[in-house]
Amino acid sequence: MAAVSVFPSPGELGAALARSVAEAAAEAVASGGRFTLGLSGGSLVQLLARELPPALSAVAGSEPSRWLVAFCDERLVPPEHPESTGGAYRAQLLSQLAAPPQVLWVRSELGPAEAAREYEGRLRQAFPGEDPPQFDLLLLGVGPDGHTCSLFPGHALLQEQNSLISHLEDSPKPPPRRVTMTLPLLNAAKSVLLVATGAAKAPVIKVWAEILKFWAKSGILG
């Protein structure tokens, strides 16, 4: 079911988001033994770093040691680079967790095509018997132009139907070399939270909200 929630401040958004993640984790661990989570970068890193640790302490059964974490997209820069999504999560969030989760890191030292193939191979191994893999939860950001992950409006990757992970070397937003989840993988997730902050993103969020309402009414979303 599609729903849109609006919060008056980033702090209130972050607290609600962290609570949703913790509760989803507890439910998944209780029912299947593990929680599979896809993370996006940008403002989500700071929101989760600030709010998720206390939320995990407050929700029983949400222990990160039972989690599998992957990245919805990654910039192919060294982990210590300020544009590295994995590096940001390692420094700001994962370092706070006493029992860290299993993490599928993107090998940023590889070329784009090889990094995408290698990442997809390990992703498939982590979800045996699932084709495509079904994440319990994906946290997606959105840009002012409407892009999510590294799927930009008008880009050829929006037509990808075979690969779960693909690459690009011409990202409209730097850095240009990236790997990203594709629509077949995003669409397979059990739950998706699309998160945006700031007035600049309000127009595109209104468009997303109308699309979600249409999908829900037409049965595209369960």
Overall domain count for the chain: 1
Q: At what angle do helices 85-92 and 43-58 cross, to 10 degrees?
A: 40
What does 44-62 look like in DSSP terms, one character per residue? HHHHHHHHHHHHHHHSTT-
5 in a structural domain:
no
Q: What is the CA radius of gyration of the chain?
A: 17
Percent of the chain surpassing pLDDT 70: 91
143 in a structural domain:
no
- Show Cβ contacts of residue 21 under 8 Å, excluding neighbours closer than 6 positions: 37, 48, 52, 55, 137, 139
Q: Where are the beta strands (DSSP E) in 136-183?
A: 137-141, 165-168, 178-181
pLDDT tens per residue, range 68-91: 999 999 999 999 999 999 999 999
Query: Measured at the alpha carbon of residue 2, what is the angle toward residues 36 and 206, in degrees to the nearest 5?
Result: 115
> Residue 53's pLDDT is what?
96
Q: Is pLDDT larger for residue 163 or for residue 1?
A: 163
> Residue 211's pLDDT is what?
65
Strand duo 178-181 + 73-75: pairing: antiparallel
> Residue 181's pLDDT is what?
98
Structural domain boundaries, residue 19: 11-26+33-138+150-210
pLDDT tens per residue, range 30-79: 999 999 999 999 999 999 999 999 999 999 999 999 999 999 999 999 99
Asked whether residue 18 carries a pLDDT value surpassing 50, the answer given is yes
4 in a structural domain:
no
58 in a structural domain:
yes
78 in a structural domain:
yes
Percent of the chain surpassing pLDDT 90: 77
pLDDT tens per residue, range 131-189: 999 999 999 998 888 889 999 999 999 999 999 999 999 999 999 999 999 999 999 99
> Residue 222's pLDDT is what?
46
112 in a structural domain:
yes
Asked whether residue 219 carries a pLDDT value surpassing 90, the answer given is no
117 in a structural domain:
yes
Which CATH number covers residue 122?
3.40.50.1360
216 in a structural domain:
no
> Residue 1's pLDDT is what?
56
